[in-house]
Amino acid sequence: APHLHQISERYGPVFTVHLGPRRIVVLCGHEVVKEALIDQAEEFSGRGGQATFDRLFKGYGVTFSNGERAKQLRRFSITTLRDFGMGKRGIEERIQEEAGFLIEALRGTHGAFIDPTFFLSRTVSNVISSI
């Protein structure tokens, strides 16, 4: 990842690289990641396609959908999770605990360039499995 850091020094904290046919937007630094994921969440909410998953799930599933379908599936998931007790104090405490583990894991990267998918997936999976 030091090469990505050098590229960010030359082109700025947000740049695009092409890996084969895939276009990947690289965000360097806490502030630009926050801006992308919070301030401009709608523009950055899309998920990259995976040929195997696209064929298998056909765009369905909370983790494999984009756009309006993803919004509907997330809404349905949140409603269903609330029916199972999410939002009650015990669940909130579990989410806070997992968020703490996530923060510690991210701190453990010491600012290195990472793909946060594994960390986020593990956190979400742990919360869901504890319900």
CA–CA separation, 18 and 1 (whole Å): 15
Cβ-proximal residues to 61 (8 Å cutoff; 6+ apart), any chain: 73
Residue 84 in this model has a pLDDT that exceeds 70: yes
Q: What value does the CA radius of gyration of the chain take, rounded to a whole number of Å?
A: 17
Q: Grade residue 10 by pLDDT with cuts at 50, 70 and 90.
A: very high
pLDDT at res. 74: 84
Cβ-proximal residues to 29 (8 Å cutoff; 6+ apart), any chain: 8, 13
Q: Considering the entire predicted model, what is its pTM? A: 0.46
Q: Grade residue 24 by pLDDT with cuts at 50, 70 and 90.
A: confident
CA–CA separation, 107 and 30 (whole Å): 12
Are the C-beta atoms of 4 and 113 separated by less than 8 Å?
yes
**Helices 89-107, 117-129: crossing angle, 10 deg rounding:** 160
